């Protein structure tokens, strides 16, 4: 019977992920080499994504990833290196090549798209009164400019 990690990360998926993994960071202060395989930590990430479990409740022993903190450190290293963005593109390419993407069901979030043309400059709102009143909560600008502060 396959392990939990093997069920979460089958060989076909791991063959896509492994070449995308960033190089291991150098051990500047020595220490022992990594004991936990990347595949086990990736399985922990998949487990977290599928279950929405807090990291502290990760079944680390069953996944073979050492501890939740090891899996979390590996996850943050991979995320900063752009692994998940790259994997997303690779998976989309694979699905597209297999004709398994249904583009009729696409949604675009306009907030996440970069504006390529400058929008119109907003017009300044005219003041609502002929002159501004003195503030009752802060000193006037002229008085504040004469203060000797650090």
User: Does the residue 140 lie in any domain?
Assistant: no
Task: Report long-range pairs for 26-29 (Cβ below 8 Å, ≥24 apart).
Answer: none
Question: Which bin fits 99, alpha (ψ -120 to 50), beta or left (φ > 0)?
Answer: left
Q: Is residue 62 part of a domain?
A: yes
Task: State which residues form the domain around 8.
Answer: 4-15+36-101
Q: Is residue 25 part of a domain?
A: no
- Whether the pLDDT of residue 123 is over 90: the answer is no
In angstroms, the Cα distances linking 144 to 80, 131, 141, 150 are 45, 20, 5, 13
Q: Could you give the percent of the chain with pLDDT greater than 70?
A: 75
Rounded to 5°, the CA angle 27-29-30 comes to 65
**pLDDT of 37-60, one tens digit each?**
999 999 999 999 999 999 999 999
Looking at residue 119, what is its pLDDT? 62
Cα dihedral: 56, 36, 11, 101 (round 10): 50
Task: Give the number of domains in the chain.
Answer: 1
């Amino acid at each position: 019977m396959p392990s939990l990690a093997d069920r979460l990360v089958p060989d076909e998926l791991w063959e896509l992920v492994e070449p995308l993994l960033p190089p291991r960071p150098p051990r500047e202060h020595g220490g022992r080499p990594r004991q936990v395989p990347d595949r086990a930590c990736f399985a922990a990430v998949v487990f977290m994504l599928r279950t929405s479990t807090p990291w502290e409740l990760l079944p680390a022993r069953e996944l073979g990833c050492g501890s939740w903190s090891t899996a979390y450190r590996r996850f943050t290293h991979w995320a900063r290196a752009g692994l998940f963005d790259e994997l997303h593109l690779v998976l989309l390419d694979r699905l597209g090549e297999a004709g398994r993407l249904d583009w009729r069901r696409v949604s675009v979030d306009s907030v996440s798209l970069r504006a390529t043309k400058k929008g119109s400059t907003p017009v300044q709102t005219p003041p609502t009164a002929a002159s501004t009143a003195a503030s009752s909560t802060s000193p006037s600008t002229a008085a504040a400019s004469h203060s000797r502060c650090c």
